[in-house]
A and B are shown apart, each in its own frame.
Chain A
Amino acid sequence: MVQTAAAMEAYNAYWANSFIPGAEIMWMVLILILAVIALWQARTFVSQF
């Protein structure tokens, strides 16, 4: 099923008032950065304990 115009409008409306430029992409970028930091910390943790 492709997204309907109404669904896309509702989806885009969430990011429309964001304080962060390009919020519809940046939330994913932030999650990826946090995920990489968590994985790196987990690797460090495994080697230390």
Chain B
Amino acid sequence: MDLKALKAQESKRKISKGYMWALFCAVFWGIWYLPGTVVWVLNPFDEMYGEIAGASGDAVSLVVTAVLITAFNALTVMLALMLWNGVLGKFGELGRTLKEFHPCSKWFFLASIFGGPVAILGSFMAMGFIGGAFAAVAALLYPVIGSVLAYYWYGEKISKRAATGIIIIILGGITIFGGGVITELAAGGVPWIGYLGGLMAAAGWGIEGAIAGKGLDISEPDVGLTLRFLGENIIWWIIIVPILAIVGYPMYSFAFQAFEPLTLLVLIFAGITFGFCYVCWYKSFPLIGVGRGQGIGNLYGLCAIIFIFLFFGDVPAWTILVGGTLCVIGSFVMFTEETAALETLRGE
């Protein structure tokens, strides 16, 4: 076999692995909705929500409880990533990357700002003020922002075929959640703070992907993502949770009560799914590019519907079947792209 053929074979293997990681991301993200949903009814979060809602109203209560749940989620994600890095023997690399703040760590800390308090909090705001379906649709738009930023910032190539695939998957996602969005929007006035949250989710995850793509030029995805979550833990536990406690919300009293077997178990499984989903997302970026990684990752909408149907018994509507078909078509449009077109992910 000549050198050219070997190079082509290597490139094909790399791309298929990239799609595999993006698919793993979608599956873990979809299954995360199981622990992510049930944790809200468990104590102490259930009682915390009730207590704060009594004093400050439902909307404020939802955001403050979401902050504590997200902070615990970030903590258990960190544990899951320690296991991941331990199994892969990457603790040494972790220390080395952490020390190199200027060339690489700074990108991951910056990514944690856009991914944590901007995207995740924005998503919870959209959920609380408008509804879950709207939040999911708003978040589905993040590959558009991610791929456009990656294109203008560091010239990542987006072929017509990849753009078509991303658009079909986004249309599929909108169809999946479309019925719910119409009901939610028809139900109330104009909850502008919810729309702001939706915009924060789409922009936050899109910008995070583009920043991560830059940081991953010079570091490992597994350790890069761990540093990104180290940054998110610092933001929640050292900045936001103490500020909310100073303002007068009972953050610490409820945080200590979270150490209850069932709550901890659900949080740990949320951490495994969210952590592994994120690490697979980051692993796909250097192999297939930010735009494609995020586009395939968007199949989480379809995966979430499947897992919710199987485990919660919620029967999907016809819109979900149409949307799901669109998602699968969009994925195939991207999978079947000539590998030669993907040999270089960046422009000259």
Q: B37 interface residue, CB < 8 Å from A?
A: yes
With A2-B260, A38-B276 in contact, is A30–B312 under 8 Å at CB? Answer: no
CB distance from A49 to the nearest CB of B (A): 7
CB distance from B156 to the nearest CB of A (A): 20
CB distance from B86 to the nearest CB of A (A): 10
Complex alpha-carbon distance, A15 and B34, angstroms: 10
Q: Is the CB of A14 within 8 A of B20?
A: no
Task: Give every chain B residue within 8 A of A4 (Cβ-Cβ).
Answer: 43, 46-47
Pick from A18, A34, A46: contact of B27, CB under 8 Å: A34
- Considering only residues 1-20 of chain B, those with a C-beta below 8 Å from chain A are 13-14, 17, 20
Task: Give every chain A residue within 8 A of B260 (Cβ-Cβ).
Answer: 1-3
Q: Is the CB of B14 within 8 A of A19?
A: no
Q: Is the CB of B28 within 8 A of A34?
A: yes
Q: B-side binding surface: helix, strand, loop or mixed?
A: helix
Complex alpha-carbon distance, A45 and B309, angstroms: 32
Q: Is the CB of B43 within 8 A of A3?
A: yes
Complex alpha-carbon distance, A3 and B259, angstroms: 11
Task: Give every chain B residue within 8 A of A14 (Cβ-Cβ).
Answer: 37-38, 41, 311-312
CB distance from A7 to the nearest CB of B (A): 5
Q: Is the CB of A3 within 8 A of B311?
A: no
Size class of A's contact patch?
20 to 34
Q: Is the CB of A1 within 8 A of B44?
A: yes
Complex alpha-carbon distance, A41 and B87, angstroms: 11
Complex alpha-carbon distance, A49 and B14, angstroms: 8
Task: Give every chain A residue within 8 A of B272 (Cβ-Cβ).
Answer: 31, 35
Q: Is the CB of B42 within 8 A of A11?
A: yes
Complex alpha-carbon distance, A14 and B38, angstroms: 7
Task: Give every chain A residue within 8 A of B38 (Cβ-Cβ).
Answer: 11, 14
- Considering only residues 5-45 of chain A, those with a C-beta below 8 Å from chain B are 6-7, 10-11, 14-20, 23, 26-28, 30-31, 34-35, 38-39, 41-43, 45
Q: Is the CB of A11 within 8 A of B262?
A: yes
Q: Is the CB of A31 within 8 A of B43?
A: no
With A3-B262, A11-B41, A34-B28 in contact, is A28–B269 under 8 Å at CB? Answer: yes
Task: Give every chain A residue within 8 A of B13 (Cβ-Cβ).
Answer: 48
Q: Is the CB of A20 within 8 A of B311?
A: yes
Task: Give every chain A residue within 8 A of B41 (Cβ-Cβ).
Answer: 7, 10-11, 14
Complex alpha-carbon distance, A4 and B257, angstroms: 13
Complex alpha-carbon distance, A1 and B307, angstroms: 30
Look across to chain A and name the residue whose beta carbon is closest to the beta carbon of B89. A46
Q: C-beta contact mask, B292-313 vs A, less than 8 Å → 1, else 0?
A: 0000000000000001011111
27 A-B pairs with CB atoms under 8 Å apart are A1-B44, A1-B257, A3-B42, A3-B263, A4-B46, A7-B41, A7-B46, A10-B46, A11-B262, A14-B311, A18-B311, A18-B312, A19-B313, A23-B310, A27-B31, A27-B269, A27-B311, A28-B269, A31-B31, A35-B272, A38-B24, A38-B276, A41-B24, A42-B88, A43-B88, A49-B14, A49-B17
Given contacts A14-B41, A19-B310, 10 further A-B contacts (CB under 8 A): A3-B43, A10-B46, A17-B313, A18-B312, A27-B34, A34-B27, A34-B31, A35-B276, A42-B84, A43-B87
- Interface of B toward A, CB cutoff 8 Å: 13-14, 17, 20, 24, 27-28, 31, 34-35, 37-38, 41-44, 46-47, 84, 87-89, 222, 257, 260, 262-263, 265, 269, 272-273, 276, 280, 283, 307, 309-314
